[in-house]
Amino acid sequence: MKWLETDTANCSVGRTLDVVGEKWSLLIVRDAFNGVRRYEEFRRHIGMSEAVLADRLRKLTAAGILRAEPYREPGTRTRSEYRLTPKGRDLWPVLLALKQWGDTHAADPEGPSLDIRHTDCGAPVRVVVECQGEEHATLGPRDVSVRPGPGARPLDR
């Protein structure tokens, strides 16, 4: 079975985009990685409407990417802080790859707004695709072969 003969309804890329493929969702996850926790902080920092923010936080929480933890300031009602779950933290290399692409192809003339470096040595961080074989070679698109996986289904014609 070739790619064009494969039904893409159960494609992992498509399923992932159903959860986080919308701009605001990824910006919320980006901010959560950078320490933003509270509704008002997200709204102020990202600049989105309250309705959109509430909807995206609800969806990200329902998807298990964020978890809501109650907190209460003295004299106020209980509210939620949003924390990344392990599933949410697994999106880190995805966000870094998007940042890396953006720094190369869509950068501000003054440079990137985030400078991400290894804490121990200070070197810049890059996302790479690597072979899991003994050599751990860095790979590009022409270095791999793609074939249908166990979940592939034939396209109904």
Percent of the chain with pLDDT over 90: 78
DSSP secondary structure, 22-86, as one string: SHHHHHHHHHHHTT--BHHHHIIIII--HHHHHHHHHHHHHTTSEEEEEE--TTS--EEEEEE-H
Torsions phi, psi of 71, nearest 5?
-145, 160
- Domain boundaries along the sequence of the chain: 3-150
Q: Which residue has the tokens 């870094």?
A: 96
CA distance 89 to 32: 9
Instruction: Share the mean pLDDT of the chain.
Output: 93
pLDDT at 53: 97
* pLDDT tens figures, 48-91: 999 999 999 999 999 999 999 999 989 999 999 999 999 999 99
* pLDDT tens figures, 36-56: 999 999 999 999 999 999 999
CATH class of the domain defined by 3-150: mainly alpha
pLDDT at 18: 92
First to last CA, the chain: 14
For residue 132, give the 3-state DSSP assignment. Answer: coil
Burial of 14 (0-12, 13-18, 19+ CB in 10 A): exposed
pLDDT at 151: 87
Q: Is the pTM of this model over 0.75?
A: yes
DSSP secondary structure, 83-125, as one string: EE-HHHHTTHHHHHHHHHHHHHHS--TT--S---B-TTT-PBP
